[in-house]
Structure 1
Amino acid sequence: MDHENSFLGRGWAFPPAFDTKSKRSMMVEEEEDIRQSLFIIISTIPGERIMNPKFGCDLTSSVFDNVDSLAVNRMKDLIRTAVLNYEPRITLHDVVVDTRDSFDGIVRITLDYTIRKINVRTNIVYPFYLKEGTNVTGM
């Protein structure tokens, strides 16, 4: 991996995984670290982290909401607030909530952002599942 952007950070891979040969945890760096950090922020329910109970984004409170403009705007606000508070390495430009598959229990959330230090604009798509028993992390 090119280490010229190493100032963007390095952290454990999400979900945590271990290399059996080196007996070390798998690590991610740079843009991938930021992408995974955003998934962690959006996937974490406030109160899950005992030492940082305000951390996260309470999207699960929207699971049983009618998918209307009020719910969409509430989701966008929850995400904007969480990213503003917990991911200082990016500038969030837009949050787009795609509700086309909401009858199937899926709402796709796209975050359009710029990595501040290197001025690279990118985006992620976070699949938020409205049905029980589905993969919430989307990773």
Structure 2
Amino acid sequence: MALEVRFIGVGWGFPPLFEAGGVRLTGGVRNIEESLRIITGTQLGERLMRPNFGCGLDDEIFGQMNSNRLTWIENLIRRAILLHEPRIDAETIRVEADQPEGRLLIRIAYTVRGANSRFNFVFPFYLGDR
């Protein structure tokens, strides 16, 4: 774990938690997954000083979920990862509509750059508490 943290880095945990010694930090793959969760859950324009940060998935949630829309969402996510998470290469991104539940299942298979380590991230995206 120490090598992974040194290689990938350390950052604020998400959601931010303040402890006696300061802010809770996370490192390694966990920090990357928290970053992916932030990227996919942030609306374009939501961050004051970084208006291009995020995916803008909330704009897509009420559209008809056909293959064209799912491909469009996959491309939104791929672009956001390319722009905002330089530590990984997204190999495959799959978005599936979970119709009875009214949510999107986002599956991202990625490789940490320079480490040749592969990981998977699954994020259920839906309106309501995230």
1:53 corresponds to 2:51: yes
Q: Choose the corresponding residue for 1:43, options 22, 38, 41.
A: 41
Q: CA deviation at 1:135?
A: 2.3
Q: Choose the corresponding residue for 1:92, options 82, 90, 93.
A: 90
TM-score, normalised by the number of residues in structure 1: 0.87
TM-score, normalised by the number of residues in structure 2: 0.93
CA distance in 2, matches of 1:25, 1:31: 18
Counterpart in the other structure of 1:3 = 2
Q: CA deviation at 1:89?
A: 0.6
**How well do the aligned residues superpose, as a CA RMSD in angstroms?**
1.2
Q: Secondary structure at the match of 2:129?
A: coil
Structure 1 counterpart of 2:104, which letter? V
1:113 corresponds to 2:110: yes
Q: CA deviation at 1:24?
A: 1.1
Moved over 3 A (4+): none
Contact preservation (8 Å) 1:8, 1:117: no
CA distance in 2, matches of 1:32, 1:66: 33
Gaps of 5+ in 2: none
Counterpart in the other structure of 2:29 = 31
Counterpart in the other structure of 2:129 = 135
Determine what percentage of the aligned residue pairs are the same residue. 37
Gaps of 5+ in 1: none
Number of equivalenced pairs: 129
Deviations 1:35-93 (A, max 9, x none): 11111111111111111110110111111101101110111010000001111110111
Q: CA deviation at 1:115?
A: 0.6
Q: Secondary structure at the match of 1:93?
A: strand
Q: Secondary structure at the match of 1:81?
A: helix
